[in-house]
Amino acid sequence: MTRGNKNKTIFRPNTPGPGYDVIVIGAGHAGCEAALAASRLGCRTLLLSLNLDMVAFMACNPSLGGPGKGHLVREIDALGGEMPRIADRNILQVRMLNTGKGPAVQALRAQINKWGYQRSMRIALENEPNLTLREDMAEEIKIDEGQISGITGRSGAYYPARAVIVCSGVYLGAQLFLGDLHYAAAPGSLTPSYNLAKSLQELGITLERFKTGTPPRVYRRSIDFSELEPVYGDPEASGFSIRSRNTSAEQIPCWMTYTNPDTHEVIRNNFEQAPIYSGLIKGAGPRYCPSIEDKVVRFADRDRHPIFIEPEGPDIDEMYLQGISTGLPPDIQELFLRTIKGLEKVEIMRPAFAIEYDFSPPVQLKNSLETRAVEGLFLAGQINGTTGYEEAAAQGLLAGINTALKLKNLDPLILKRNEAYIGVMIDDLVTRGAQEPYRIFTSRGEYRLLLRQDNADLRLTEKSRSIGLIDEERYKLHLEKKVFIETELARLEKTRHNPGSDIESFLAAYNSAPPRQPVTALELIKRPEISYPAYLEWENNTPPELPPGTIKELENQIKYAGYIAKQGLMVEKTARMHDKRIPEDFDYQKAKNLSSEARQKLEHARPETIGQASRMEGVTPADLSVLLLYLERPEILKTMLKNNSLNTDEGANGHE
């Protein structure tokens, strides 16, 4: 049946009511988390996918984690999301990165069995009682009297709903590029969506273009591994989820090689066939994950670039070449690959490609990820200008939570920058927008020592518990960790050692100075050379079986107590001003004492707090002082509101 047919099918769930509470468009990493969160919070949810065989598809690298990204996955776990649990069931290799640096930047990175991940996530979706999976392409979002009423699919079906979450990934208006060849297509050779993009624009959502790409996948049997450097995992490393007590000791190695001057020469000789240089691609690409063509140009002084050869599954022949994405044609890809050590006889299984797609600049969103233009319409994932599975899943989880809370007439869950990297990411997006595909880094957080990956559950579990997304098993593990740390810190503070006691022989074994006066065990463990496990062993003390990461988090709290306290004071100092809310109907055009640039940008972005306004380009400290004056003087603020009313609790006093 064709679009617009008056006899279209109305698709309803097998439950009483007019239709669905929530429809999630797209079953990638954002869509899966959004649909699971909404359904687990009691919403009748429909998850639409272009192809159900592509649910939770890892279209690019078969891995999760790393600095910033690994932190997001731990936060997803603390909030009740599914990605960490599914990842831990499908780990091929896991390592802790940055172990020689401070705890703020240490993070897990894992190679994932991408096919096992897909299957496990689909099973989780199918087993959720409030959730229906359906294969169809969303074509139009319907509005009735300013409210979301449902969507129509390419199948001709009409799906009634109260709210919609768009998690379309890179499938809106997508075009693939292989040299001069380009055509309408999306990852997995699926048909891209054009009518949904048109529908969003008709609803007042602005769309722009971004670019990304993937490297070639090659046959394992065509690689000479004797010429490569192996990269092994850590059998002792924990998984991403607090539920995962340990990971498999049998881990598959990755391999490392490098490009060389011959490789770069082949690429330079074929620049005219690269779509990013021939002018075919207009959209901005990811700065922090550039194509090999970009690397050769931007880092012309370098003789080589690393390539990580990663397995996509335990028993398939396909290998992923991390670090060498390209839009060059397949014959040139094969030509430059065969200049690389270990790849002299390589055979390509899937050629690399570049892709250009539509995204929605995220300054059009509220912090809840609801659009400003349409009530009940939420956007999550790469449609918001981000890149990466972890960024997408984190947004999907928050969008699903906030959609459910909205339908229950409850306040949204807004995470602050000092509470979570998810909060940092969302605040960055809605405040500053995305001039290039956004990727999370620990350096984006002002309070990164407070946002360690090992304390994600201590920071966020209670928040998720309060809205009903954490089950009893998960909450019990959180309490085990929390109570043990609190109890053990108190015990170590009370345990005292005097000079001349047997503690001196223990300290001497670690070249640590004997105490000159009575010291607590806590003070001893603060010393860099003394670890908490070593002290426990000396005590002949064995702790109970604990959730993963508990001992590490306890030691971090001890050794970095002074720095953590300083960052806590910084948070308190800035919180009063930064949390002051700006009324939704504040009329910036009446604020004549603001600079014209600030008025224009504030009117467009409409930040929710002074803290958000302070992070906007073009808003100066002088502008912030003027804005604070308007907000703190009720008689002035009243004249600045479009409806000329004043909520003194929220407007004048800045309280929520």
* Residue type at position 399: A
Strands (E) across 502-579 are located at 519-520
Max Cα–Cα distance, the chain, nearest Å: 92
Decide if pLDDT at 650 tops 60.
no
Which DSSP state fits 609?
B
Residue with tokens 């990164």: 448
> 284 falls in which pLDDT band (50, 70, 90)?
confident
pLDDT at residue number 652: 33
pLDDT digits (tens, 9 = 90+) for 369-383: 999 999 999 999 999
> How much is the average pLDDT of 554-580?
86
Higher model confidence: residue 284 or residue 496?
A: 496
* Mean pLDDT, residues 480-501: 94
Rg (CA), the chain: 27
If one counts every other C-beta atom within 10 angstroms of the C-beta of residue 434, the result is: 20
Q: Say whether 550 sits in a helix, a strand or coil.
A: helix
Q: Identify the DSSP state of 195.
A: H
Sort strands 175-178 and 353-359 into parallel, antiparallel or unpaired: antiparallel
pLDDT for 264 beyond 50: yes
User: Could you identify the residue written with the tokens 């007439």?
Assistant: 409
Gap between the Cα atoms of 264 and 78, Å rounded: 44
Domains of the chain in start order, with CATH, are 20-211+357-467 (3.50.50.60), 217-353 (2.40.30.260), 495-572 (1.10.10.1800), 579-652 (1.10.150.570)
**DSSP SS3 for 384:** helix
Cβ-based neighbours of 476, under 8 Å, separated by 6 or more: none
Instruction: Report the pLDDT averaged over residues 409-436.
Output: 94
- pLDDT value for 641: 86
Q: What is the pLDDT of residue 646?
A: 53
Mean of pLDDT over the chain: 91
Residue 350 half-sphere exposure toward CB, CA atoms < 13 A: 19
User: For the chain, what percentages of helix, strand and coil (3-state, to nearest 5) are there?
Assistant: 40, 20, 40
Average pLDDT over every residue of 4-31: 78
Amino acid at site 182: H
For the cut 50, the answer to whether the pLDDT of residue 655 exceeds it is: no
Task: Give the rounded percent of residues in the chain with a pLDDT score beyond 90.
Answer: 72
- Contacts by 10-18 with C-beta closer than 8 Å and gap 24+? 10/157, 10/158, 10/159, 10/160, 11/46, 11/134, 11/157, 11/158, 11/159, 12/160, 13/44, 13/46, 13/132, 15/44, 17/44, 18/160
